Amino acid sequence: MPALSTIGTVAIFIVTLTLILAPPRGWHEGWWAALGAVAMIALGLVTPAQALEMVWLSRNVMLFLVALLLLSALVESSGFFEWAALHASRRAGGDGMRLFRNVFVLGAFVTTVLSLDTTAVMLTPIVVAFVQRLRLPARPYIIATAFVSNVASLTLPISNLTNLLFADAFHIPFGRFALRMVGPQLVAAAATYLLLRWRFRNELHASFDAQGLAEPSSVVADPRYFRAAALVLVLVLGGYFVTPLFGVEPYVVAFGGALVLAFLGVRRRRVGLRTLRAISWGLFPLVLGLFVVVRGLENLGVVTAASLWFSGMAGHSMGRILIASGAAAAASNVMNNLPAALLARDVLQAPGVDHAGVFGALLGLNIGPTIMPTGSLATLLVLDIARKKGEGVRGFEMIKTGWWVTPLVLLLASLTLAALDG
């Protein structure tokens, strides 16, 4: 019977992951994760008590995710993203190379402050619309958006769900997380930008007529609400660093900012049910379902074996960082970075594993998934949104760029983390 349990667990995991990464038309990825979880419980591979335990342990992460999605949708309703994209385009002064730089910097800012999924869902359609209007080649900008949405998610716990999972599991304060990761983040972002700029150098020399672009103020329907959204963003970001000192969870700050904007938005008729409908609610069955499916793998002893392997191989701090980052990157490209993060989190909770391995794994989970299109949901979202807007970029194009850009960026970021750690 143990053999049947192993076969059943692995089969459910593979089928669930396949349907998440390539869902049949009309089905959201989240429902396949939920069905995979139901199958695990129904076949006795995960007990109901274990499933409830996973939900309970993830409560802080789920609450933060709700608050972040609400905040992002409310900020979007103010016109902030389109306003910022217009500024980036106009300040390029008709130079394609400058526009590429500005789009990359804007993507890095949005990813850092509002998460990689916000960049994928809200910035991608705006970037595609602008390059189409300016008659520029779309491929460099789409691939850059996919890369920056992943690579620029290192600095803050809120920038990526994988960061939230690790910060919560290992009790890493907001400020300490940012302080540890800001160095590798700067190196990773700069290296990615320079390598992508060189990769697409022949496509970025085209000039464009910036005069044809609208004034940024023209997309701000309600200046007062727009200013409120910008102020709330600044206050929320500052609150993330300050409130943990008083024992307040960061999700409380995000909810506070979202409630203020919701109140103002409703009063000024900028926010309604359409705002709630724009939120990707399917993320919740996706995440919770994956928690349960991955727990099935844990029940097979996968985590114990991996923990022993890591403990046996890890030596010096640099070695632990390089091993953890490389293993996490490889796992992310094979199975997607979210289930890889869940497994890595449990492996690194073994006795004797220090934070060098934890932060090293985060490098692999954030930077690493940019080789395969399926490595990150953000990448899949960018490519899917661009395709729906008439700018299809094949997954092979991501692989052709990622196979050499990603290892170089990951190595530089890992060496930076090791140098700062030492």
- What distance, in Å, lies between the first and last C-alpha atoms of the chain? 48
* DSSP 8-state symbol, 347: H
CB within 8 Å of 112: residues ≥ 6 apart: 152, 153, 155, 156, 159
Residue 227 to residue 40: CA distance in whole angstroms: 48
- Tell me if 2 sits within 8 A of 45, measured CB to CB: no
Q: Is 95 helix (H, G, I), strand (E, B) or coil?
A: strand
Residues of the domain holding 159: 2-421
Q: Quote the number of domains for the chain.
A: 1
Q: Is 233 helix (H, G, I), strand (E, B) or coil?
A: helix
Q: Residue for token digits 């769900």?
A: 161
For residue 95, what are the β-bridge partners?
207
For residue 207, what are the β-bridge partners?
95
Cβ neighbour number for residue 382 with a 10 Å cutoff? 33
Q: Where are the alpha helices (DSSP H) in 200-354?
A: 223-242, 250-267, 273-277, 283-299, 302-313, 317-335, 337-347
- Tell me if 62 sits within 8 A of 315, measured CB to CB: no
CA–centroid distance for 94 within its chain: 31
Give the pLDDT score at 326.
94
Predicted confidence pLDDT, tens digits, the chain (422 residues): 567 888 889 999 889 888 887 777 767 778 888 999 999 999 999 999 999 988 887 888 888 888 888 998 899 899 999 999 898 888 888 888 999 999 999 999 999 998 888 898 889 999 998 888 888 899 999 999 999 999 999 999 999 989 999 998 898 988 999 999 999 999 999 999 999 999 999 998 777 877 777 888 888 989 999 999 999 999 999 998 888 888 888 889 999 999 999 999 999 888 887 877 777 787 788 888 888 988 888 888 877 777 776 766 655 678 889 999 999 999 999 888 888 898 898 888 876 666 788 999 999 999 999 998 888 888 988 988 898 888 878 888 899 999 999 999 999 999 999 998 76
Cβ neighbour number for residue 88 with a 10 Å cutoff? 23
> Which amino acid makes up residue 243?
T
The b/e string for 302-329 (b: 16+ C-beta within 10 A; e otherwise) is bbeebbeebeeebeebbebbbbbbbbbb
Give the pLDDT score at 209.
79
Give the pLDDT score at 316.
63
